[in-house]
Amino acid sequence: LTMMMQSYVSMGLTTILWILVVFSLCFGESLSFFGNPGTFIALTNVNSNEPLTRDGEVVLPGIPGLLFMAYQGMFAVITPALMTGAFADRFRFKPYLIFVTLWLILVYAPWCHWIWGGGFLAERGVWDFAGGIVVHITAGFSALASLAVVGKRQAVEGEDLSVPHNVPFVALGTALLWFGWFGF
């Protein structure tokens, strides 16, 4: 139940942060490390009928800015959820929300800007197909780093951590994930 709650609340929190400031940090006019938070803050200058423009140039011709924002938002939403499984039962809820908020701003936004938002890595020819760097590598290394800080799960008295919780649910989750990736 905790994992489901963390995943759903993470989706909501990430969506709100994405609309307010993270989209702008990722795809706004470059300030070298981040995008300019004022470029698209609260979806300012993001139109549903016209392509997104940055520095007076069209980002993607023929793609409405709102559609581009929503598509990129899907990647931002799924990335914290990828990390959540690594630290199951190790975070309390409020610190988890603080962690996700800070992680989106301090880790996801710079990497997204550097590679997808026209930052210095994109200028040097780095390509990221299907989120290999921005999504998977940042989530994986961040999960490892957070586990190094948080440490092992603490067992409740009488609980055996070596016993799997529910093997059929693990198989079901694996099947759903596999099916979802085929759809992608």
Can you point out the beta strands (E) in the chain?
A: 53-54, 57-58
Over the stretch 79-134, which tens digit does the pLDDT of each residue have?
998 888 887 778 888 989 999 999 999 999 999 999 999 889 989 999 988 788 99
Over the stretch 131-180, which tens digit does the pLDDT of each residue have?
889 999 999 999 999 888 888 777 777 777 677 778 888 888 888 888 87
What pairs with residue 54 in β-bridges?
Answer: 57
Select from 97, 79, 86, 107 the least CA-distant residue to 150: 86
Q: For tokens 């948080």, what's the residue?
A: 150
Alpha-helical runs (H) found in 47-92: 65-84
SS3 label, residue 152: coil
Sequence-separated (6 or more) residues with CB below 8 Å from residue 161? 153, 155
